Amino acid sequence: MPSRHRQFRVRCFLVVLFLSSFTLCLWLNHLPFTPLQARWPEVATAQSPNTSLLVQQGIEQYRAGDLQEAIASWQTALSAYQSSNNLVNQAIVREKLAIAYQQIGQCEQAINYWKEAIANYRSSGEFVKVGQLLTELAQTYSRLGQNKEAIALLCGVSETDEYCLKSEGSALQIAQKFSDRQGEVAALGSLGEAYRFRGKYDKAIENLEASLKITQEINLPVYRSSVLNSLGNAYFSKAQLNEQRANSARLRSAEIMASEFIKEATFYYKKALEYFNNSLELTRTQNDPSGQMRTLLNLIQLYYRPKDSKLPDNTNQAEQALQSALTLLERLPNSFNKVYAAIDLAELEQLVSSSNSTSFQAQCLPRKLKDSQAEELLKKAVSIAQSIKDSRSESFALGKLGHLYECRKDYNKALDLTKQARLAADQKLRAKDSLYLWEWQAGRIFKAQGKESEAIAAYERAIATLQGEGGIRNNLLITDQDSQFSFRDTISPLYREFARLKLERAESLHIANQEEYQKELDSGLDAIDLLKLAELQNYFGNDCVFTVFDQERVDDLEREDTAIFSSIILEDRTAIVLSLPNPKNQVKPNAERRLKKLVWINETKKFTEEIQKFRKEVQRSYDLTDAFLTPAQNLYNSIIHPFTSDLERAKIKTLVFIQDGLLRSVPMAALHDGQEFIVQKYAIATTPGLRLTSPKPLNFQGLRMLALGLTEAATVDGEKFQPLENVADEVNQVTKLFPGSKKLFNKQFTDESLKQELKQTNYPIIHIATHGQFGTIPEDSFLVTGNNEKITITQLESDIRSFSGSSKPMELLVLTACQTGVGDDRATLGMAGITVQAGVRSALASLWYLDDAFTQELVVKFYDNLRSQMSKAEALKEAQKALINQNKKIHPAQWAPFILIGNWL
């Protein structure tokens, strides 16, 4: 897992501002922002002296840190220039306003002023300025998490293009056309940063190195220190990604691959360290205290990284860097940068394991500094923010100081400071990006004080802020691909804590008020549904748009013979909520369509161990013992048994599971009641969420299949895959069942051939029989194709999405011979994401590789059942039952791993 300190970035939508506070302002600070006169020359002579004084007054106010006063002065000046139709001076003042609004976090306002200034300069023929401001605008979009838009402005092409083509009118094209070398440096640097934020580190490094080369050619040392720092960040991000990949490989027992990833991570850490040290040396030579602080904070992050890579212990260097930063802080002039630096240093944690963490924001972890030192720094941050009248930085300083008191359990002081932070964020700035943090913090404090109603109200406001207009939640999920796991620290706990409050309230109302009991359960489940969507979006790490169906259409899924199990794994216990058809609904039109019932499983740690034990034992096909049986029965007794009478009374035939955490990787069909497997009694399906599931039943008319298979041995990324001897028979048999089908084997099976077929023909079913794996991160989720190549899960999703956007969405995707990481609670998100993001109504996939002879038999039976117009869940059930009935001793490893995801009708 990456260092927790790199999980937060300065953003207009989220200025959480931990150790990387300065990394995003590189280009804004240096092109051409220093000195201020370079950016803001004296205004043209053809102007009113009073207006000129207003502009200069605003510059002086800005330098003094009085941003709001500066904005007021410049807006007055702008009105005067608009009256005289002075386009050049309008553009100059609009630049100032854009920068000021960006510094106080109001990026939408900044964007408007950048665009207006660009239009002014374009009208007056100042194209060099147009190019420079396009770069500034691109940086602002990056701060909003809209990196595709930023790259388009810099390159003039979509981010998905392999190369930046520098199209006509782009920032890079203009800089090169007019020989604006400084503009080119900034555009390339901004492009590198945008690519880094999209997780495209090689492209980031390529552009940053090009920028660095120019700074050396034309001797721009201030720019060069920034580029060196950015290169350090890019290599640091790449190193952390490789550590994540090593962890993912270990979960799949791919130790050789894990070792290679660690070697690469070590190399990239050394490169990052080299670039940071070079940047630090240069900033010291230039006597640039702000640049020194920026680089010192990055070095501290690197020194305190997890020790998985094979680098020497840098504890002494880390302590020296920390002391240097504390000393340097006193030299910095009062500014919002100084405020955030003080916050960063105060919040610096001891290096602790975060594998079981709930939330950085909520946790009270040991700090590197003494508690009294941290308090002093945060109070100083508040004082500086107030003196420069910067409400945004004041909000964060107050909020963090409130969190310190929360950790001390001094709840009255904590709540008072949190309310002040909330007021600064809400009333002064309407800063929704930080407001949710303080609402959440207030909710935690109210809960600790035993004020349940106030706590719930605060949590509701926090979630409403995230879900509301402005896209805060989406930006949190899709940005900073070097730190995808930060999702667990920034969003997931908020939704889980709120769901817990609602479920616990429901529990207290169970007997006294059934109507309120149902409402509270619905509210808790709604929060978890939002979380499931967020998890998927975070896993794929892009600005994808999922189709979310309204409740009326979702009702079509909830047939009278279907029960829905939702699991919610919390830190100390797990909630299982059963949703059943309400018999009163048939006679009372206004009655609830579904009735829900809650059961708690105590001791989450023990429950998790039981899940892991079952997953491990049920997969051991070579072990003919029934070692899996005990954990299978234990899980059945925990999850299903409490509801058996309810299921029987409602005459349920299909069980649908909306799973959480490790339960996603469990083949529920193999749970055992002591007499039989539950699949022998119920059809089984899983879905990431009801509102993410297409409600339409299978259209049996005109079904045809595109089948792709690999029979040959393959080597991909150094990992060897054995030949699949029965794949040819499997593909031949299943394609015979559907007239008009087509099959592609081995060398014919490529990403390009898949795209061509989907482009030419409508295939409601795609059947892929090959090795595949689903890892912790999308980069390690792929299918093996012909020619020793692979297609990643994101490529596959993109290919299918292009097809499923037609008038006839894809009905079914079948993936055989795949596997997910054992004990990995994120791996199956890749499978679920295919059905949700690509628009496939259902997917049938295996949780692990199994004998392809059993695979062939099972999938042929499944398709045959489907042709007889069974539901997909029923077709899978009968196929699995047929294997069990043929051989009572068959191990569930041979039939249980196939799970149906998405629409089960």
What value does the mean pLDDT take over residues 754-781? 88
β-bridge mates for residue 842, sequence order: 812, 902
Please indicate whether the domains covering 551-692 and 705-902 agree at the CATH topology level.
no
So what's the pLDDT on residue 821?
65
Instruction: Kindly provide the residue ranges of all beta strands, DSSP E only, lying in 363-418, ordered along the sequence.
Output: none
Q: Which residues contact 877 (CB under 8 A, 6 or more apart)?
A: 669, 679, 682, 683, 684
In this predicted structure, the answer to whether residue 572 has a pLDDT above a threshold of 90 is: yes
- Torsions phi, psi for 564 (to 5 deg): -120, 125
Structure tokens given for 478? 């899709």
Instruction: Provide the pLDDT confidence category of residue 777 given band limits of 50, 70 and 90.
Output: confident
So what's the pLDDT on residue 671?
97
Q: Which residues contact 152 (CB under 8 A, 6 or more apart)?
A: 158, 159
In this predicted structure, the answer to whether residue 190 has a pLDDT above a threshold of 80 is: yes
Among 6, 874, 869, smallest CA distance to 483 is for 6
In this predicted structure, the answer to whether residue 690 has a pLDDT above a threshold of 50 is: yes
Residue 430's identity, in one-letter code, is: R
CB of 708 within 8 A of CB of 749? yes
Among 209, 190, 273, smallest CA distance to 239 is for 273
pLDDT tens-digit series, residues 269-318 = 999 999 999 999 999 999 999 899 999 999 998 888 766 666 677 788 88
Instruction: Provide the pLDDT confidence category of residue 779 given band limits of 50, 70 and 90.
Output: confident
* Distance of alpha carbon 597 from alpha carbon 810, whole angstroms: 35
So what's the pLDDT on residue 798?
83
Q: How high does pLDDT run on average in the chain?
A: 84
So what's the pLDDT on residue 357?
37
| E strand or H helix that includes residue 795 | helix 793-804
Task: Tell me which DSSP letter residue 827 carries.
Answer: T
Instruction: Provide the pLDDT confidence category of residue 27 given band limits of 50, 70 and 90.
Output: very low
Instruction: Provide the pLDDT confidence category of residue 836 given band limits of 50, 70 and 90.
Output: confident
Instruction: Provide the pLDDT confidence category of residue 9 given band limits of 50, 70 and 90.
Output: very low
pLDDT tens-digit series, residues 35-48 = 223 333 333 434 45
So what's the pLDDT on residue 622?
63
Between 30-39, 745-754, 799-808, the lowest mean confidence (pLDDT) is in: 30-39
Instruction: Kindly provide the residue ranges of all beta strands, DSSP E only, lying in 618-764, ordered along the sequence.
Output: 654-658, 683-686, 705-709, 714-716, 719-721, 742-745
Q: Which residue's structure tokens are 């040392």?
A: 221
* Distance of alpha carbon 651 from alpha carbon 670, whole angstroms: 21
What value does the mean pLDDT take over residues 397-414? 96
Instruction: Provide the pLDDT confidence category of residue 433 given band limits of 50, 70 and 90.
Output: low
* Distance of alpha carbon 392 from alpha carbon 501, whole angstroms: 30
Cα 776 to its chain centre, rounded Å, is: 12
What value does the mean pLDDT take over residues 393-404? 94
* Distance of alpha carbon 657 from alpha carbon 650, whole angstroms: 17
Q: Please give the radius of gyration of the chain, using alpha carbons only, rounded to the nearest integer.
A: 29
So what's the pLDDT on residue 39?
39
* Distance of alpha carbon 498 from alpha carbon 487, whole angstroms: 16
Q: Which residues contact 610 (CB under 8 A, 6 or more apart)?
A: 631, 634, 635, 638
Between 4-8, 395-399, 642-646, 834-838, the lowest mean confidence (pLDDT) is in: 4-8
pLDDT tens-digit series, residues 707-737 = 999 999 999 887 889 999 899 999 999 999 9
So what's the pLDDT on residue 198?
82
Question: Span 551-692: which CATH code?
Answer: 3.30.420
Top pLDDT among 75 and 779 is at 75
Three-state SS letters, 154-223: HHCCCCCCCCCCCCCCCHHHHHHHCCCHHHHHHHHHHHHHHHHHCCCHHHHHHHHHHHHHHHHHCCCHHH
pTM of the predicted model, to two decimals?
0.85
CB of 71 within 8 A of CB of 109? no
Between 94-103, 312-321, 855-864, the lowest mean confidence (pLDDT) is in: 312-321
* Distance of alpha carbon 63 from alpha carbon 57, whole angstroms: 10
What value does the mean pLDDT take over residues 830-840? 76
Q: Which residues contact 832 (CB under 8 A, 6 or more apart)?
A: 536, 664, 687, 688, 901, 902
So what's the pLDDT on residue 351?
52
Among 346, 324, 233, 329, smallest CA distance to 290 is for 329
Do you find a cis peptide bond into 739, omega within 30 degrees of 0?
no
Domain boundaries of the chain, sorted by first residue: 220-330, 471-540, 551-692, 705-902
CATH says 705-902 is which class? Answer: alpha beta
Between 150-159, 309-318, 672-681, 809-818, the lowest mean confidence (pLDDT) is in: 309-318
Task: Tell me which DSSP letter residue 662 carries.
Answer: G
Parallel, antiparallel or unpaired: strands 782-785 and 765-774: antiparallel
Q: Which residue's structure tokens are 């401001």?
A: 133
CB of 812 within 8 A of CB of 765? yes
pLDDT tens-digit series, residues 100-145 = 888 776 778 899 999 999 999 999 999 999 999 999 999 988 877 7
Top pLDDT among 585 and 606 is at 606
CB of 245 within 8 A of CB of 780? yes
In this predicted structure, the answer to whether residue 614 has a pLDDT above a threshold of 50 is: yes
Instruction: Provide the pLDDT confidence category of residue 427 given band limits of 50, 70 and 90.
Output: low
What value does the mean pLDDT take over residues 874-892? 92
Structure tokens given for 683? 């059809």
In this predicted structure, the answer to whether residue 589 has a pLDDT above a threshold of 70 is: no
State the DSSP string of 736-792. Answer: HTSTT-EEEEGGG--HHHHHHHHHHS--SEEEEEEEEEE-SSGGG-EEEETTTEEEE
Top pLDDT among 22 and 342 is at 342
Highest mean pLDDT among 306-320, 365-379, 860-874: 860-874
CB of 104 within 8 A of CB of 429? yes
* Distance of alpha carbon 82 from alpha carbon 85, whole angstroms: 5
Structure tokens given for 757? 């077929």
Q: Is 842 helix (H, G, I), strand (E, B) or coil?
A: strand
Between 292-306, 473-487, 835-849, 876-890, the lowest mean confidence (pLDDT) is in: 473-487
β-bridge mates for residue 658, sequence order: 566
In this predicted structure, the answer to whether residue 360 has a pLDDT above a threshold of 50 is: no
So what's the pLDDT on residue 33?
30
Top pLDDT among 710 and 362 is at 710
In this predicted structure, the answer to whether residue 621 has a pLDDT above a threshold of 80 is: no
β-bridge mates for residue 709, sequence order: 745, 769
Structure tokens given for 893? 């490893």
Task: Tell me which DSSP letter residue 44 carries.
Answer: P
Among 92, 101, 47, 45, smallest CA distance to 72 is for 101
So what's the pLDDT on residue 358?
37
State the DSSP string of 438-504. Answer: HHHHHHHHHHHTT-HHHHHHHHHHHHHHHHSTT-HHHHHHHS-GGGGGGHHHHTHHHHHHHHHHHHH
State the DSSP string of 228-274. Answer: HHHHHHHHHHHHHHHHHHHHHHHHTT-HHHHHHHHHHHHHHHHHHHH
Cβ-based burial of 78 (10 A; exposed 0-12, middle 13-18, buried ≥19):
buried
- Torsions phi, psi for 188 (to 5 deg): -65, -40
Structure tokens given for 31? 């092109």
